[in-house]
Amino acid sequence: MNKLEELKKIIDSLNNFAIVSHTSPDGDSMGSILSLYNLLIDLNKNVDVFVEGQAPYKFSYLSGFYNIKNISQSNSRYDCLFVLDCGDEDRLGECKDLLNRTDIIINIDHHITNNSFGNINIIDAKASSVGEILFELYKNLNYKITKEIAECLYTSIVSDTGGFKFSNTSSKTMRIVADLIDTGINFTNIYYRIMDLKTLNGIKLISKVTSTLKIYLDGKVATMKLTKQMLEECQTKEDEAGELVNIVRDIESVEVGILIKEVDIDTYKISFRSKDYFDVKDIALKYGGGGHIKAAGCTIKNKSIDEIEKELIDEIKKAWVKYNEWNN
Ligand code: 5GP
Ligand code: MN
Ligand code: MN
C-alpha cells in the first residue's frame, strides 16, 4: 500500500482524530490544521484541533477558529493524530503529550530538517507550505475542497510564500492558488489581512523594535531585538506588527536578518531570514532549531540577549568564511 492508500484507509476506517501544529503557530500552521479540521468534520468524524496557548486572533476569519482547543481542555485518547508543519516533537511544546495519546501519528510537513517522527511521514521539502501538500492530498483522495477549506489553504500558501514572492513559490503553487480562487474565496481580503494589516499598537511596536537595529559584516548582517517590556509598553502582541524579521532582511545591503525575541526569563526565540544565498538553517540547527534555507529559527536559553547576539554574529562570520572558501 502506498502512503496515499494508507492515509485513505485510516481516514475511512477511524473515527476519533486530533490535529496539531508547532508552537507559536503561523499562517501555514493555522491554515493547515483548520483545513483538515473542516475536511474531517465534513466527513462526519470526531475531531479535536489544538494550539498551544492562544490561537492568534489574526486568523479568526478561518472557519473552525473558535473550536480550537487548548491542551488543558482535553485528556482524551485518539485513534489518529495529525501533526502538521512541525519539524520535530519538541516543536509541539505543551501539545507534545498528544503523541502519547494516539494510536497512529501522521506527520505532514515541508521542513527539510523534519526528523520523520510519525508512523506515516509525508514530507515534501519542495512544497511552499503544508497547505500546498494538503491540497494535493485532498485532490488525490477525491475529497471536496469547499470554500471554507480553500480559505484555509490559501491562508497557508500566502503566509509561507510571503505573498507569492519567496523562491519557494512555483508554477504549481500558482496553479493550486488558481483552483482555490475558483471556489469563490475573497482572496483580496485574506491577502490583505495576512500581508498588510497591522494594529495601531503594532505600529508603535515596530517603532521600538526598529530602534534596536544593529548592522554587522559591512551591512550584510543585521539584528533587531524584541523584549517583553516592549510588548507591555505597546499593549500588543507580536503578530499585530506583521513579520518583524522581514524588516531587517529587506534592508538593501542585508543578506541575513535576525530577530532576537525575549520569550521568558533568560529564554530567547531567534528568527533568521536570508535574502538570496546564505543557509540560515545550518546556524539554527547548531542551537537545536531548524527550518528552511532562507527561514529558520531556534530557542536559546540561559544567556543574556547581548551574549546571544555576539555568539550568533560569530557563528555567521565563521559560516561566511567557509562559504567564501567553497565558492572562490
Ligand atoms: P520563524 O522565524 O517564523 O519562527 O520560523 C522560520 C522557520 O523556521 C519556520 O519554518 C519554522 O517552522 C522554523 N523554525 C523556527 N523555530 C524553530 C525551532 O526551534 N525548531 C525547528 N525545527 N524549526 C524552527
Ligand atoms: Mn510554520
Ligand atoms: Mn510551513
211 and 244 assigned to the same domain: yes
- Domain boundary among the residues 154, 173, 195 is at 195
- Please report where in the chains the cell 495529525 appears, as a residue: 82
Residues 68 and 172 in one domain: yes
State residue 322's pLDDT score: 83
**Is the predicted pLDDT of residue 321 greater than 90, yes or no?**
no
**pLDDT score of 326:** 76
7 and 124 inside one domain = yes
Mean pLDDT of the chain: 96
Determine the average pLDDT of the residues in 48-76.
Answer: 95
User: Residue 254 pLDDT more than 80?
Assistant: yes
Q: Which domain holds residue 262?
A: 200-327
Q: Left if phi > 0, otherwise alpha if psi is -120 to 50, otherwise beta: which for 120?
A: beta
| pLDDT band at 182; cut points 50, 70, 90 | very high
Closest approach atom of ligand 1 to CA 111: 10
CATH number reported for the structural domain that contains residue 179 in this entry: 3.90.1640.10
Indicate if the pLDDT at residue 76 is higher than 80.
yes
Where is the domain boundary, 135, 161, 195? 195
Distances (CA, A) of 68 to 19, 21, 34, 171, 193: 10, 12, 9, 33, 20
Q: Can you tell me the mean pLDDT for 60-89?
A: 96
Alpha carbon distance, N-terminus to C-terminus of the chain = 48
Domain end call among 153, 180, 195: 195
257 contacts 249 by C-beta, under 8 angstroms: yes
Ligand 1, atom 14, residue with closest C-alpha: 297
Same domain, 214 and 307: yes
Same domain, 248 and 99: no
Percent of the chain clearing pLDDT 70 (strictly above):
100
pLDDT at 324: 81
- CA-angle at 92, arms to 223 and 70, nearest 5°: 110
Query: Sorting pLDDT into bands at 50, 70 and 90, what band is 328?
Result: low
For residues 219 and 254, membership in a common domain is answered with yes
CA 39 to ligand 1 centroid distance, Å: 26
Which tens digit of pLDDT belongs to each residue from 15-27?
999 999 999 999 9
pLDDT at site 228: 97
Q: Does 179 share its domain with 265?
A: no
Shared-domain flag, residues 171 and 215: no
> Looking at residue 247, what is its pLDDT?
97
Is the domain of 151 the same as that of 226? no
Q: What pLDDT was estimated at residue 288?
A: 95
> ∠ CA(86), CA(88), CA(94), 5° rounding?
80
Residues 174 and 103 grouped into a single domain? yes
| 94-140 tens-digit pLDDT | 999 999 999 999 999 999 999 999 999 999 999 999 999 999 999 99
What separation in Å is there between the alpha carbon of 117 and the centre of ligand 3?
17
Please report the ipTM that was assigned to this predicted complex: 0.97
Q: Are residues 155 and 24 in the same domain?
A: yes
Residue 9, judged by CB atoms within 10 A of its CB (0-12, 13-18, 19+), counts as: exposed
Give the cell for residue 44.
Answer: 462526519
Q: Which atom of ligand 1 is nearest to the CA of 289?
A: 20
Domain of 226, CATH number, reads 3.10.310.30
In the reported structure, the alpha carbon of residue 161 is separated from the centroid of ligand 3 by a whole-number distance in angstroms of 9
As for how many domains the chain has, the answer is 2
Q: Say how many Å lie between the CA of residue 86 and the centre of ligand 1.
A: 9
Enumerate residues lining ligand 1, CB below 6 A.
Answer: 22, 26, 87-88, 91, 111, 113, 271, 289-292, 295-299
Q: Given this model, what pLDDT does residue 325 score?
A: 78
Q: For residues 169 and 251, state if they share a domain.
A: no
Q: How confident is the model at residue 277 (pLDDT cuts 50, 70, 90)?
A: very high
User: Could you tell me where the beta strands, DSSP code E, fall in 99-149?
Assistant: 102-109, 120-123
